[in-house]
A and B are shown apart, each in its own frame.
Chain A
């Protein structure tokens, strides 16, 4: 079983709408959690890094939350744009890096 589970697997929303992506993990020990955005045909690009003591971190229209007690993280995208269409990968750092399978987001006009 993957130690990093992401949901939903895919998501389609209309431009301008908000959405929330989920990441649940069982990685232990836990050091930090990162969200990456991967555009089609490109490598992943880091959006946020959250350490154990951080609950919320924003990067423009992206807001990541972390609950280290329940081992859950979310990535909230506000006022979505067509350019947000991509895969979003949750990566948890423990003794090594564990990757989630990603959520494929499609934003339609």
Chain B
């Protein structure tokens, strides 16, 4: 298995532009998570899906952020319009179970997408 695949690995864009990050979870996993990581705030959960349905999007910073999961093998995180403070590394992770209390629930992270908004 190739693991969780994210693209692009790096993106540099100008303020106001639309940014779309993509994620392919591990086949068979039914939960997908989007995280943002910065030096100041560490890892923050933005949104997670269970069986392609958004369950908790309370971590999404504002309406400029949106996420979709049209099928079990693909998800996108979109920022429109982007702002410099959105600069961060965005991680996608997937797991076999939802974020329940099971000790067997291990998140597998992708390599991340480093976004720089100028």
Residues of A within 8 A of B (CB): 31-32, 34, 41-46, 49-51, 89, 93, 96-97, 99-102
Does B25 lie at the interface of the complex (its beta carbon under 8 Å from any beta carbon of A)? no
* B111→A99 contact, CB < 8 A: no
Q: Least Cβ distance of B48 to chain A in Å?
A: 9
Can you give 29 A-B contacts (C-beta < 8 A)?
A31-B101, A31-B103, A32-B103, A34-B106, A41-B111, A41-B112, A42-B111, A43-B4, A43-B91, A43-B112, A44-B43, A44-B91, A44-B107, A44-B109, A46-B107, A46-B108, A49-B106, A89-B42, A89-B43, A93-B99, A93-B101, A93-B105, A96-B45, A96-B99, A97-B45, A99-B42, A99-B44, A101-B42, A102-B42
Chain B proximity of A39: nearest CB distance (Å): 10
Residue numbers in A under 8 Å from B43 (CB-CB): 44, 89, 99
Which of chain A's residues has its CB closest to B9's CB? Answer: A41
Residues of B within 8 A of A (CB): 4, 42-45, 56, 91, 93, 99, 101, 103-112
Chain B nearest CB, measured from A21 CB (Å): 15
Indicate if the CB atoms of B106 and A46 lie closer than 8 Å: yes
| Shortest Cβ distance from A45 into B: residue | B109
Bound together, the chains give a CA A44 to CA B106 distance in angstroms of 11
With contacts A89-B43, A97-B45, A99-B43 taken as known, whether A43 is within 8 angstroms of B99 at the C-beta atoms is no
Tell me how far the C-beta of B60 lies from the nearest C-beta in chain A, rounded to whole angstroms. Answer: 15
B45: chain A residues at CB < 8 Å are 96-97
Quick one: which of A32, A42, A49, A96 contacts B112, CB cutoff 8 A? Answer: A42
The minimal Cβ–Cβ distance linking A45 to chain B, given in whole angstroms, is 7
> Which residue in chain A gives the minimum CB-CB distance to B6?
A43
Distance between Cα atoms of A14 and B107 in the complex (Å): 31
Whether A43 and B93, one on each chain, are in contact in the complex, defined by CB atoms closer than 8 angstroms, is: yes
CA distance A96 to B99 in the complex (A): 7
B110 touches A32 (CB 8 A): no
